[in-house]
Amino acid sequence: MATSSDFAFGPDSEIWQVNRYATGLLFGPAAVLLQVAHPRVAQGVADHSDFRNDALGRLRRTLHAVNAIAFGTHGEAESMRTRMTAAHQRVRGHTSEGMDGPKRYSAFEPDLLLWVLATLIDASFKGYEFVWGPLSKPRRERFYHDFRRFGSYFGLDPAMGPQSLDAFIHYFDDMLSQEWLGQHPLCAEVAAAVVHPPAPFRDRLLGHLVDFLPIETVPPQIRERLQLPSTWWTRARMTCLRQIAPVAFRILPKRLTYYPEAYRAERALS
């Protein structure tokens, strides 16, 4: 039987307590939209993934990487670190016309890593609170520090960027206020493929069913720049979800409300 010390984080950590529930899926698509609203991230996605035929692949891979670290053993977390480093080494190239900043980009740029991490933190907070209610500030602070350590597995130095929850909130709000976020045409192109995947058929069908999630959970100003209009139909489905999700997560068994990685990890400890 496994013990708490076998895991990179463990059951007493806030990252485990908050992220074990699949509530992150509720705001995960919005996190992806915020990521690709950064033009340099959108460029990397466009250049190094088949986003037109596998638009949801980034979300799936990111989710698997997050959970493999958050609920994995030390060995599993280190293995994922190695895999992500190898994958990110290939993500480099030249930016498109009209993008500000250096003309060459790399997945290892600290500000890009910080932005991606920030969107995951925001999605975790909002997804959990959507179902379970507000997290106390001490818990949010502990979660933030857990996630900064988590970010080191992605290659982000824990000393880079906001060092407290309050500083993080200021950073995140400041990023959302930047007029360039989501303005480049490539951002809207990649975002459209995420919300309404053109292929394969499975993802296209899923997009029709849940397109309201990213549309209604991404900040309105970013939604407008990404050309994703809110309609009565997206708002109506979001209203229904607000009523259903808190009940469903409370009455359904853990094997249906936990991420598979979290469910297996908790069973290994019992």
pTM to 2 decimals?
Answer: 0.95
pLDDT digits 0-9 by tens, 119-167? 999 999 999 999 999 999 999 999 999 999 999 999 999 999 999 999 9
The domain ranges of the chain are: 4-269
User: Rounded mean pLDDT of 103-116?
Assistant: 95
Structure confidence at residue 270 as a pLDDT band (50, 70, 90): confident
List the beta strands (DSSP E) in 139-259. none
Residue 73 is classified by DSSP as: B
Q: How far apart are CA 254 and CA 241, in angstroms?
A: 19
Q: Which residues pair with 104 in a beta bridge?
A: 94
CA distance 63 to 86: 18
Q: Taking the CB of residue 133, how many other CB atoms lie within 10 A of it? A: 8
Beta-carbon contacts of 235 under 8 Å, excluding residues fewer than 6 positions away, are: 212, 216
Query: In a 3-state reduction of DSSP, which class is residue 81?
Result: helix
HEC profile of 109-160: CHHHHHHHHHHHHHHHHHHHHHHHCCCCHHHHHHHHHHHHHHHHHHCCCCCC
**Mean pLDDT, residues 174-193 taken together:** 96
- Contact at 8 Å (CB) between 20 and 258? yes
> Which letter does DSSP use for residue 258 in this model?
B
Helix, strand and coil in the chain, % to nearest 5: 70, 5, 30
Closest CA to 28 of 255, 232, 206: 206
199: pLDDT strictly greater than 80: no
pLDDT of residue 59 exceeding 80, the answer is: no
Cα-Cα-Cα-Cα torsion 218, 54, 109, 24, nearest 10 degrees, comes to 40
Average pLDDT over residues 60-79: 92
For residues 233 and 92, is the Cβ–Cβ distance under 8 A?
no
Residue written as token pair 């003309």: 103
